[in-house]
Structure 1
Amino acid sequence: MRKVVDLKTALSYALAVALASGTALAAEASRAPAGSANGTAVETITLKNGAGVSAKILTYGATLQSLSGPGKDGAIADVLLGYDDLKSYVDYPNYFGVTVGRYANRIAGGKFMLDGKAYQLPLNDKVNTLHGGGKGFDKQVWKIVSIKSGPVATLVLSLTSMDGDSGYPGKLDTTVTYTLDESGNLGIAFDAKSDKPTIVNMTNHAIFNLAGEGSPDGALGHMLTIPAKAYTPVDAALIPTGELKPVAGGVFDFRKARRVADGIRDGRDPQIVAGRGYDHNWALDKGVTKTPELAARLEDPVSGRVLEVLTTEPGVQFYAGNFLDGTLVGKSGHLYRMGDGIALEPQKFPDAPNKPTFVSARVDPGKPYHHAMVYRLSVKR
C-alpha cells in the first residue's frame, strides 16, 4: 500500500529521466547518524551517482545539507550554503536547504479565510507568517520511510502535522521523496493529504553558489534565466500587491540570461529597494504543469557549473541572500554575506490564500497535494 498517492508517480518520473539519459544506471544511497535534535535521533542520508554528483540530506527539516558536483576542471565542490553540523541547523536556523511548510513564503498578517472561517498563524516575520510559522516543517525530525540504491537512489521521508499545528486546519500527512540519477537530476517530490480543507505550499530552500560554497566572489556573477513575462510586485512588508507586472525592459527581465549583479543594486527601481535586492516571485510562463518544466537556469561562467530548476508549480521565488549579513558562520568557517548565494524556490505564489486571482493553495480531503521539482546539476565545458 502506498504511503502517499503520488509517490509511485514521483519515482516513475525519476526512473524515466534516468533511462532517457542513456547512461549507466547505478546510484547509491547510504545512511549515518548525525546526532540528535529535541531528544530525537537524526540521520544523514547520502545519495551519490557515478558522475561525481552527490547529495546529503538530514532527517532534521528534511534538509538538503549539501549538493556536490564537478566543474569544468573536474574539481568537486559543494554548491550549497549551510552548516557542517546538525547543532548549527538547530541553534542558528536560517532555512539553508530545508523543506518549508506548511506554507512556503509569506502570508500577510498570518491570517487567511477558508470556507468562511478565519485562521491566525504565528507571526515570525515582523507582521507576517514566513515559511509556515515559528515551528514549521524545517524544525521537525522527519521519519525515514525507505532508502534504496539502484537505477535511481531514493530516500522517502514522512511527517504528520496534526490538526491545529501552528494554527493550520486539518491533520496533514506529508512525504518528501529525494531521488538522484546518473544524469545529475536531484528530484524532490512533496506530497500531502489532509482530513480537512487546508492550505499547503511546500518547497526546498537551498541557497546556491555554483562556484562553490564560500567562494569569495559570491554568486552575483552568475548568469540567470527565468522564463517568465511577469512577476508579482510587493509592498514594504514583502507581500504581493496582487498585480502581475510585466518584466519587459526592466531589472526583473531574465528571459535572456544576464548577470545577477547587473540589477541587484539598482535603487532606481522601488521594488529593488523594497526587497533590498531580489526577493520576489516570478509568474512562470508555463503555469501549473503535470510534470516538472524549466523554472530557472543558473550558470557560473568560471567553474562551468550549471543548475537548472524544474517544477510543476506556477511560480519561482528568486532570493539573492539579501539578509545574509556576515553574522552566520557556515561550512568550513565561512561567513555568509549578501550575494554569497542564490535561492530559486518553486512554489505557489506568496500570500495566495488572500489573493483570489492567484493559483489556489487549497487542499481538500480526497484531493492530495503534489509538487515535483528537480535540481539538475551539470557542466558547461
Structure 2
Amino acid sequence: MIETKEILGKWQEFTLENKNGMKVSVLDYGGIITQILVPDQDGLLENVVLGYQDYEDYTENPNFFGALIGRVAGRIQGAAFELDGKTYKLESNEGKNQLHGGSGGFHQIIWDVEPFETDGAVSLKLGHQSADGDGGYPGNVTIEVTYTLTDSNQLIIDYVAKSDKTTPITLTNHSYFNLSGNLKNAVHQHEVRMNSNYFVELDSELIPTGRLLDTEGTVFDFREGRLLQDGFMDDSLQNRLAGNGYDHYFVFDSEQENSIVVRDKDSGRRMDIVTTQPGVVMYTSNSLVEGEKLRNGMSRKYLGVCFETQGSPASLHHEGFPNVVLDAGQSYKKQTSFTFSVEE
C-alpha cells in the first residue's frame, strides 16, 4: 500500500507499507526518508531513524537527515578536482572543502516521483536531471533512485545514473539509524559487525590523508562485532579527530560479501545491510547539535548511526581508493539493502 499526503503546501510525502505493517515514509524533497517503522521483539512498531518533528526544518537540514546525497557523497578536498587535465572548482561549503555535493546538492531538490506496486513489494521511483555545470560538475546526468519495501521487511535502494561527459558521481542515503525504537536510547549499545580490514585515515579537517590504516588491534576492527561505545570512549587520534567517535570510510574486504550487521539487544532489532558499493562511511552523529526537536525527542550526540555506502571521494586526489569517476556514456548502477528482523 502507498499513501500520499501534502506537506507544507509544497512537498509530497509518500508512505510505503508492507503486509507486516512496516512503513517507510519518503519526501519528494531531497528524497528524504522521514520515518521507518519496524517491529521489536514484542511486535511493537516503532521508528528507527532520526527525523525532524517540524517538516519545515528539512528546508535547511544541516544534518542531512534521511536525504539522498549527490553528485558526490562525502568530502572533496579543496572543493576541486582534476579530470582529463582540466581542473573543476566547486562550492566550498565546509571550510575550504565540499561536503555532500554542496548547498545545491541532491538533498535540496524536489525529485520527480512515480509510485508503483509489484508482487510482494511497493516502490517509489525518483528521477532528476542534473545539467552540465550544476555545482561546477561536468556532464548532463540523468539520475534514478528507487526505494522498494518488500514483504520480507527489506528496504532496497537502487541507484542508476548516466552522464554524457566523464564526471565524478557516488550516491548514498544519509539516514541516521537507532534500533532502540522511538529514540529511547542513544546508540552506545548498538553492536556492529562489518567485513572491513582497512579504514581511511583522516586529517584535522576530516579529509583523507591518502593512507589506509589496518583495523587489526584497534576500535576500528568490526570484523567480529563491536559496540559503538568502544569508539566513543577510545582516546586514539582518529577517534578524537572525528569528535570522539566514527566518521570514517571503511573499505570492504573484497573476498567477502559487502555486508554490515547491526544489533540492539534491548529491543531485539537487527538490521542487515548488503551493498554493491566498495565501502561505507560510518558516522556516529558525533557533531549532532543538542536540543533540536526530533519526531521522537530532542537531538543529542550519539543519537544515531549512519551507514553511507559509497565510493571514496579521496580517489579524486589519491591512488588506491575506490573510484568515483563515471565515464561518459557508461551506466552507474549500485544497490544497498536494509533488512530488518528480530532476535530473541
TM-score (norm 1): 0.87
Q: Any idea what the Cα deviations from partners look like across 1:219-240, whole Å, max 9, x if unmatched? A: 1111111111111111111111
**Aligned residue type for 2:12:** E
Q: 1:371 aligns with which of 322, 334, 338?
A: 334
RMSD: 1.5
Conserved? CA contact 1:80–1:206, under 8 Å: yes
- The number of residues matched between the two structures is 343
**Aligned residue type for 1:265:** M
**Aligned residue type for 2:69:** V
Moved over 4 A (4+): none
Q: 1:337 is matched with which residue?
A: 300
Q: Distance in 2 between matches of 1:244 and 1:312?
A: 21
Q: Distance in 2 between matches of 1:261 and 1:53?
A: 29
Conserved? CA contact 1:214–1:336, under 8 Å: no
Q: 2:169 is matched with which residue?
A: 200
Q: 2:20 is matched with which residue?
A: 51
Q: 1:271 is matched with which residue?
A: 238
Q: Does 1:240 find its partner at 2:208?
A: yes
Q: 1:357 is matched with which residue?
A: 320
Q: 2:286 is matched with which residue?
A: 322
Q: Distance in 2 between matches of 1:310 and 1:364?
A: 25
Q: Relative to 1, partners in 2 of residues 1:152 and 1:300: Cα closer, same or farther, differing over 3 Å?
A: same
Q: 2:153 aligns with which of 169, 178, 184?
A: 184
Q: 2:67 aligns with which of 83, 89, 98?
A: 98
Q: 1:13 is matched with which residue?
A: none
Q: Distance in 2 between matches of 1:286 and 1:327?
A: 41
Q: Distance in 2 between matches of 1:165 and 1:360?
A: 21
Conserved? CA contact 1:295–1:346, under 8 Å: no
Q: Distance in 2 between matches of 1:158 and 1:35?
A: 22
Q: Relative to 1, partners in 2 of residues 1:43 and 1:129: Cα closer, same or farther, differing over 3 Å?
A: same
Q: Distance in 2 between matches of 1:240 and 1:214?
A: 32
SS at match of 2:209: coil
Q: 2:226 is matched with which residue?
A: 258
Q: Distance in 1 between matches of 2:52 and 2:200?
A: 32
**Aligned residue type for 1:81:** L
Per the TM alignment, residue 92 of structure 1 is displaced from its structure 2 partner at its CA by 4.0
Q: Distance in 2 between matches of 1:79 and 1:367?
A: 36
Q: Distance in 2 between matches of 1:44 and 1:203?
A: 20
Per the TM alignment, residue 149 of structure 1 is displaced from its structure 2 partner at its CA by 5.2
Q: 1:173 aligns with which of 142, 155, 167?
A: 142
SS at match of 1:273: helix
Conserved? CA contact 1:160–1:172, under 8 Å: yes
Q: Relative to 1, partners in 2 of residues 1:72 and 1:224: Cα closer, same or farther, differing over 3 Å?
A: same
**Structure 1 segment 1-381 matched on structure 2, within 5 A:** 28-36=1-9, 41-148=10-117, 150-215=119-184, 217-267=185-235, 269-276=236-243, 277-286=245-254, 293-332=257-296, 334-381=297-344
SS at match of 2:208: coil
Higher share of residues assigned strand? 2
**Aligned residue type for 1:111:** A
SS at match of 2:340: strand
Q: Distance in 1 between matches of 2:279 and 2:328?
A: 24
Q: Any idea what the Cα deviations from partners look like across 1:266-318, whole Å, max 9, x if unmatched? A: 11x1101111111101010037x9xxx44311100000001111110111111
Q: Distance in 1 between matches of 2:70 and 2:193?
A: 26
Moved more, 346-355 or 159-168: 346-355
Q: 1:8 is matched with which residue?
A: none
Conserved? CA contact 2:258–2:277, under 8 Å: no
Conserved? CA contact 1:104–1:203, under 8 Å: yes
Per the TM alignment, residue 200 of structure 1 is displaced from its structure 2 partner at its CA by 0.2
SS at match of 1:87: helix
Conserved? CA contact 1:294–1:308, under 8 Å: no
Q: Any idea what the Cα deviations from partners look like across 1:192-222, whole Å, max 9, x if unmatched? A: 111111110100000011001321x311111
**Aligned residue type for 1:35:** L
Q: Distance in 1 between matches of 2:329 and 2:104?
A: 27
Conserved? CA contact 1:219–1:340, under 8 Å: yes
Q: Relative to 1, partners in 2 of residues 1:353 and 1:373: Cα closer, same or farther, differing over 3 Å?
A: same
Per the TM alignment, residue 345 of structure 1 is displaced from its structure 2 partner at its CA by 1.0
**Percent sequence identity over matched residues?**
35
